[in-house]
Chains A and B, each alone.
Chain A
């Protein structure tokens, strides 16, 4: 149980284009989803927290207009990187938790974004 999927697993795009990454909880209803960014050989950096049906809460230093997060249902959250640039290239990972065990997080497999 507690399986989280992400799509796509990797994406290459041109500078200036937008990219959407999907995060799905497959066997439970995720009351909260989290988006992380991870640079090579570094730890996970929390970008934002989203609850179903409400606006995402962004961490300090994360541009809201750059990284659009939508949590439309209890099983789906999306991260859209708008007008991507090479410095946005990174490994993006989502996680999900549910109300009963609110501080347990289950992670997706990650999405490798490369912006040319």
Chain B
């Protein structure tokens, strides 16, 4: 089955700096990699995702990169703002056609103003 490891578990950055969170996965058949942001007391919100046919995807200040050979993908947030403070989860599907997602342990991001 799929195993997803996420690092770091906590990350503190100064407002305006960049933040990078990394995940590794074990199943080479996985082909979809979403990132979720969860604020306190709320459900996870999909912020960006990438499929295995591309190596990078960007949406304003957020980007995701994928290295299929090394089986890792990363979330990049530039020009961080206090409202970026939250818990971020990466995930990967179980198998190529799996609709179940396996989640990483989460990263607490704190943006200090």
| A residues adjacent to B (C-beta < 8 A) | 4, 6, 32, 34, 42-44, 46, 49, 93, 95, 97, 102-110, 112
Contacts and interface: CB of A to CB of B under 8 A. Distances in A.
B71 to A, nearest CB: 17
B49 A104 contact: yes
Contact of B46 (A46, A93, A106, A108): A106
B35 interface: no
Given A44-B44, A93-B44, A110-B42, A102 B36 contact: no
Given A43-B106, A44-B89, A107-B36, A102 B99 contact: yes
A68 B49 CA distance: 31
B103 interface: yes
A62 to B, nearest CB: 13
Given A34-B100, A104-B49, A107-B36, A43 B89 contact: yes
User: On chain B, which size bracket covers the interface?
Assistant: 20 to 34
Q: What's the dominant secondary structure at chain A's contact region?
A: strand
Contact of B41 (A46, A102, A110): A110
B93 to A, nearest CB: 5
| Residue among A4, A93, A104, A112 with max Cβ neighbours from chain B (10 Å) | A104
Interface in B9-54: 32, 34, 36, 41-46, 49
Nearest to B95: A103
A23 B11 CA distance: 33
